[in-house]
A = this chain, B = another copy of it.
Amino acid sequence: MVSQSHSRIIRSRSPHNHPSISTSIRWGERSALDRGPVVGTLVNHNHRNVIGTHGGSYGIYRALSVASGELDPGHQPLLEHTEPLITIAPNEAWFDPTKIVSLDPWGAIVIEMFAPLIQKGYQIRPTIAITQAHLNLPEIQNAISKGTLTIDGEILKSNGSIKVTKIAIDPVWYLPGIAKRLGIDEQSLRQALHDQTGGMFPEFLNNRELKVWLPPIGNTTVYIFGNADQIQNESRELTLRVHDECNGSDVFGSDICTCRPYLIQGIEESIKIAQSGGTGIVAYFRKEGRALGEVTKFLVYNARKRQGDRADQYFERTECVAGVQDARMQILMPDVLHWLGVKRIDRLVSMSDHKYNAIVNSGIQVIDRIMLADDLIPLDARVEIEAKKAAGYYSA
């Protein structure tokens, strides 16, 4: 296998006018070594085979650490003992170059999968990390007191803390796949990414051999409640909440929207399904303010306050400021579900038609959609809910 992959690396070495590529990535190949590693190292440039570097937007803080002399740019990460605490089993979606295009399905197990290359001195970093934790949430404690949640000692511990597996996933974008998902050609995508970022990476235009980009954006976090091994077992039930970051509500409890209440409902539903032998998943995406950012979001809040906050103008107000109502690109969201091996969602805790359509159109079956419990809607968030229902969001 090693010598095979080695010979393959020789064969795939790129022309001399692109000395920076010494391994190639064949997105969707069935084995990790056939697919090839994602190498974003800045230590040995001859080993690089991607645009950009690791860590999402935190690569920029890493650059500052090097600039200030605090970080040795030649540092070799010691990854011993960092391996995943549980295994996400490879499934057919990993081998389909169109099913997963925005993350590296092999990203959690690079130390094991690419050992032959790591031994040859290739610096290959995990883009996914899998750990376990206990969560302690006041709303869950209240639900236990109220009797709407029951302690079972396994999923929900005697002290009210929740046992979870959590997974951090850095973005790894396969540009031909992203373009196909967006329904455009690769060159148009490369041109737009170059021009609309202010010329972020010249390789978008001048090195078409580099097909993979590590974009400087936030990561995705997946919380799994119950047995992760059962996700791919279609005889077991699965509950999912796909949640897009809203710092103002998720952390600070702002009462103008329903984000944290719906997130908590997703966690409660996930606990319940796990307690009944199924699996609950909460996937958290760093897409603040519909991926338009918090500055735009606050500008829109002000326009809403000053013009009179009306449901029929809710989305329009965002479009006036940002030129688009929503930039979250939900068509990329199901990638993480396919990576996990999700085939059927029994209870989707979301009212968003964008999310629902993206999931169903990606080939995952959705049985029931769970609306936000009415008593969880803050008074000031009524406008948002009415606007969303009017815009085609799900309501019973």
Contact = CB atoms under 8 A, between A and B. Distances in A.
A184 B197 CA distance: 27
B131 A302 contact: yes
Contacts of A168: 293-295, 297-298
Contact of A138 (B81, B138, B166, B197): B138
A380 interface: yes
A358 interface: no
Contacts of A301: 131, 133
A200 B299 CA distance: 29
Interface string A299-329: 1111101110000000000001111100111
A130 B302 CA distance: 8
B299 A126 contact: yes
B197 A60 contact: yes
Nearest to A67: B192
A75 interface: yes
A255 B82 contact: no
A83 to B, nearest CB: 7
Interface stretch (A1-9, A210-218, A338-346, A362-370): A210-218
Given A80-B303, A199-B201, A217 B57 contact: yes
A55 interface: yes
The A interface is mostly helix, strand or loop, or mixed, namely mixed
A223 B202 contact: no
A196 interface: yes
Given A126-B299, A138-B139, A67 B193 contact: yes
Given A73-B196, A142-B138, A329 B82 contact: no
Contacts of A137: 252-253
A245 to B, nearest CB: 8
Contacts of A260: 251
Nearest to A289: B58
A68 B291 CA distance: 15
Interface string A244-283: 0001101111111000100100000000000000000000
A321 B168 CA distance: 15
A292 B61 contact: yes
Given A68-B329, A82-B303, 18 more contacts: A51-B198, A52-B197, A55-B296, A57-B57, A62-B327, A63-B193, A65-B323, A65-B329, A82-B302, A85-B302, A129-B302, A134-B256, A136-B253, A161-B255, A200-B216, A216-B216, A251-B260, A251-B263
